Amino acid sequence: MGDPLDGCNPPSDAHVLASNSQAQYSPEETAKHGEETMTPDGENDPTTTSKDKKLNGSNITITTETPEGKQAQVQENENDNEAENENQPGEGQTVVEEEEGKEEEERPPLPPRPPRTSGESSLTPFSPSSRPALQSRPTTAVASVEVHTRSFSDGLRGFFSIPGYRAISESLSITGLSTGQSTPAVRKASISESLIDDTSSLLSHAPHSNMDGDLAGLLADGMNAKSPAWKLLSTQAESGNPFEGIDDDDTSLANFEHEFDEIDAVDSKGENEEQLLVQFKAKFKHYMILSSAGKPIYSRHGDQNLINGYIGVIQTIISFYEEENDHLLGFVAGGTRFAIKIDGPLYFVAISKLGESDSQLRAQLDALYKQILSTLTLPTLTQLFSNRPNTDLRRPLDGTETLLSSLADTFTKGSPSALLSALECLKVRKSHRYIINNTLLKTRTKSLLYGLIVAGGRLVSVVRPKRHSLHPSDLQLIFNMLFEAEGIKAGGGENWIPICLPAFNNKGYLYMYVSFIDANHDDETSDKQSTTTNDDDDRDDEIAVILISTNKESFFELKDMRDDLVKQLRKNGSMEIIKTAVSQGRPSTTDIVPGTPLKHFLYKSRANVQFTMPSFSPNFTSTIKRRRLMSLYHELHASTHVKYSPVKVLHNVSRDSSALAWITADFEFYCVAGPKASRAALTEGADKVIKWMKREEERVFIIGGAVF
């Protein structure tokens, strides 16, 4: 029988051979696309849809889709070798292409890289300096902000003023947002510096079938190329910690600890507005949702009075492109990336100084959209707007705001689960999991669709019908509601929640029974509700039983099932096993491989859509350290998930860390060590972890769950 989550594998786990993708992507196309966006001075190119403007000294690059919906821009290749290989089909190379989701075709290109001014840092982590031609430049080198060149499909071209742009520079004050060269710039500069000599950046196009377990072989060339001096250096302090020696002048994440502080409301006279705007602009991340009619729906930061102006500007900009049927996907201003996603009547905007890639931000926006669907269902959403395009969605969404915010904050803190779109499971012995699965199956009642046991935020067991799988994006919504947002848990008692799981069926509601079992409260009186727990520490102890049905009247049936289930789990010792496993927490890297220089890693099993990782402690417990780690993982992930010919093996050295990413057909592996760790040490560490993973696979992951 298949694993519990098979069939729900997101398409991202599909892989195609390079020959296919190259067929869709001929060299001519490359050339053509290249013309569109990458000509050094393409201001007269009538096909250009990339609108670059010089604004108050900061560059804004706007990427759009062409009217035909084709990608207007080529994903810039991260590496010379790769670019060459890519344009020479028929070399018999096998390249695994990541297909990120069904929306592949709509998947926007990454915006062009901002230009690299001399002496200043580049935003492009791995962009080799040898290809200046690929750096985007302002295509209209006109100083005045108002003048804008635009081409129409009928070949006409016009100059006209766009008040919206002025509005950006004034009220959004992009220059303000980007002053101080925000987050990613500083550390990325160091990365790209170290990568300029080609020795530190490696990639391989070796057939992936040979890759498993032979990382060292793949990296051998690079290792030989090391200079003696480097070898000498690298023998020192291999075990240093990442992000430890960060210079004092690296203020990139200095205010990140205030990221989640609430901004006060604008007072009645608007006197504090100025000061609130300063706080507002200091945020690293913004998420805004508005209707296409310009009604604000949600903003992570700032109250309505503070954001109204921005919402207006955003609506103007997006609608301007929409009217031309030319969908705006995003733009970059200084160190700030704006990603835009349009779903029917809704506009989603993410504004980030944290260095995520365009597609990563877009995935985050998609999760927010799914949360809205989860509250309303698609037909209701559509109907609301078709009846009244001017609908104020805040009323119908009442109460969803906290769920959106906890999702948003999960992304801002950095979530391995969201990044990898995979689940984490609680590690228990295979035989123990077998017993738990069977107990679920035995106690199952007829209304049950899905049953889950979750402990410490990790999945212990799933029961599901053979024909239906559980999609990770649906589970993300459930986990967010139950474990990140406070509402449900804090209420005590048992809950009966109507919920739409969009990936399962976006047209209707399911009914979710939720009960938190107090781990420290053994006897039957435990349905005397445990007192609420607000501490973060307590969160990890909770065991939740989640039973989902299509029948809204089945609460008591599922409650009886839960009582039966808990009784059985106590009787057969499983409850004790779960509790022990939860209280042990995740092992540290050195528990897994004694003496390893690795400080942290992520391992995703692609077939199981599950991942595992060691504990964040002791090195990444603070919010900022954890964010740095997650930013690094985001970079590695972005480089290995670009649309065309992504890198399969990546070794990334920077001033404060060294890291390795390794993607095969079976797994994705990312690991991080201190800056002085040699490539050999990293490779060896990675090999050992992967060997451990193979050994422990059936404990770490749910393979073959309870299916009925």
Partner 1 sequence: MAEATAPKPSSSVKLVLLGEAAVGKSSLVLRFVNNDFQENKEPTIGAAFLTQKCNLPTRTIKFEIWDTAGQERFASLAPMYYRNAQSALVVYDLTKPTSLVKAKHWVAELQRQASPGIVIALVGNKLDLTNETTSSNPLGDDTDTDAAEGEDDGDARKVSTAEAKSYAEEEGLLFFETSAKTGINVTEVFTAIANAIPETSLKGARGPGAAQTASRTEDQSRVNLTGPRDNASKEGCAC
Q: What is the CA radius of gyration of the chain?
A: 26
Q: Is 303 in the site for partner 1 (CB under 8 A)?
A: no
Span interacting with partner 1, options 109-117, 155-163, 527-535, 584-592, rule CB under 8 A: 527-535
Q: Quick one: tokens of 288?
A: 């805004």
d(CA 133, CA 41): 10
In the list 344, 487, 585, 618, the residue contacting partner 1 (rule: CB under 8 A) is 487
Q: Is 395 in the site for partner 1 (CB under 8 A)?
A: yes
d(CA 633, CA 650): 12
d(CA 648, CA 55): 37
Nearest partner of 132 among 142, 122, 147, judged by Cα? 122
Nearest partner of 226 among 687, 670, 653, judged by Cα? 653
210 vs 532, which CB is nearer to partner 1? 532
| Ramachandran angles phi, psi of 685, nearest 5° | -60, -45
d(CA 410, CA 644): 29
Which x/- pattern over 399-418 shows residues binding partner 1 (rule: CB under 8 A)? Answer: x--x----------------
Q: Is 312 in the site for partner 1 (CB under 8 A)?
A: no
d(CA 699, CA 36): 51
Span interacting with partner 1, options 224-232, 321-329, 391-399, 676-684, rule CB under 8 A: 391-399
Q: How far is the CB of 556 from partner 1 (least distance, A)?
A: 5
3-class secondary structure, 472? helix
Q: How far is the CB of 492 from partner 1 (least distance, A)?
A: 6
Q: Is 495 in the site for partner 1 (CB under 8 A)?
A: yes
500 vs 681, which CB is nearer to partner 1? 500
Strands 97-98 and 649-653 turn out to be: unpaired
Q: Is 553 in the site for partner 1 (CB under 8 A)?
A: yes
d(CA 546, CA 561): 11
In the list 258, 429, 528, 691, the residue contacting partner 1 (rule: CB under 8 A) is 528
* Torsion on CA atoms 10, 11, 16, 20, rounded to nearest 10: -170
Q: Is 485 in the site for partner 1 (CB under 8 A)?
A: yes
Q: How far is the CB of 496 from partner 1 (least distance, A)?
A: 5
DSSP 380-446: HHHHHHHH-TT--TTTTTTT-HHHHHHHHHHHHH--HHHHHT-EEB----HHHHHHHHHHHHHH--T
Amino acid at 338: F
Q: Is 27 in the site for partner 1 (CB under 8 A)?
A: no
Q: Is 319 in the site for partner 1 (CB under 8 A)?
A: no
In the list 46, 163, 491, 585, the residue contacting partner 1 (rule: CB under 8 A) is 491
395 vs 467, which CB is nearer to partner 1? 395
Q: Is 520 in the site for partner 1 (CB under 8 A)?
A: no
DSSP 529-598: PPPP---HHHHTT-EEEEEEES-TT-HHHHHHHHHHHHHHHHHTTHHHHHHHHHHH-PPPHHHHSTT-SE
532 vs 583, which CB is nearer to partner 1? 532
Q: Is 492 in the site for partner 1 (CB under 8 A)?
A: yes
Span interacting with partner 1, options 42-50, 74-82, 551-559, 572-580, rule CB under 8 A: 551-559
Residues 6+ apart with CB under 8 A from 550: 447, 449, 510, 511
388 vs 430, which CB is nearer to partner 1? 388
434 vs 555, which CB is nearer to partner 1? 555
In the list 157, 258, 466, 552, the residue contacting partner 1 (rule: CB under 8 A) is 552
Q: Is 24 in the site for partner 1 (CB under 8 A)?
A: no
Q: Is 692 in the site for partner 1 (CB under 8 A)?
A: no
- Please, which of residues 56-95 interact with partner 1 by CB under 8 A? none
194 vs 526, which CB is nearer to partner 1? 526
In the list 152, 159, 556, 708, the residue contacting partner 1 (rule: CB under 8 A) is 556
Helix (H) or strand (E) holding 341: strand 336-343
Span interacting with partner 1, options 172-180, 224-232, 305-313, 396-404, rule CB under 8 A: 396-404
Distances (CA, A) of 33 to 115, 134, 313: 19, 12, 30
- Pair 114, 136: CB distance under 8 Å: yes
213 vs 493, which CB is nearer to partner 1? 493
Q: Is 497 in the site for partner 1 (CB under 8 A)?
A: yes
Q: How far is the CB of 374 from partner 1 (least distance, A)?
A: 11
Q: Is 532 in the site for partner 1 (CB under 8 A)?
A: yes
Q: Is 584 in the site for partner 1 (CB under 8 A)?
A: no
d(CA 330, CA 326): 12
Amino acid at 59: N
Q: How far is the CB of 693 from partner 1 (least distance, A)?
A: 37
Q: Is 378 in the site for partner 1 (CB under 8 A)?
A: no
Q: Quick one: tokens of 13?
A: 């786990």
Q: How far is the CB of 495 from partner 1 (least distance, A)?
A: 5
Q: How far is the CB of 499 from partner 1 (least distance, A)?
A: 8
In the list 303, 324, 527, 538, the residue contacting partner 1 (rule: CB under 8 A) is 527
Q: Is 563 in the site for partner 1 (CB under 8 A)?
A: no
468 CB neighbour count, 10 Å cutoff: 14
Residues that bind partner 1 (CB under 8 A): 375-376, 395-396, 398-399, 402, 481, 485-488, 490-499, 512, 527-529, 531-532, 552-553, 555-556, 559
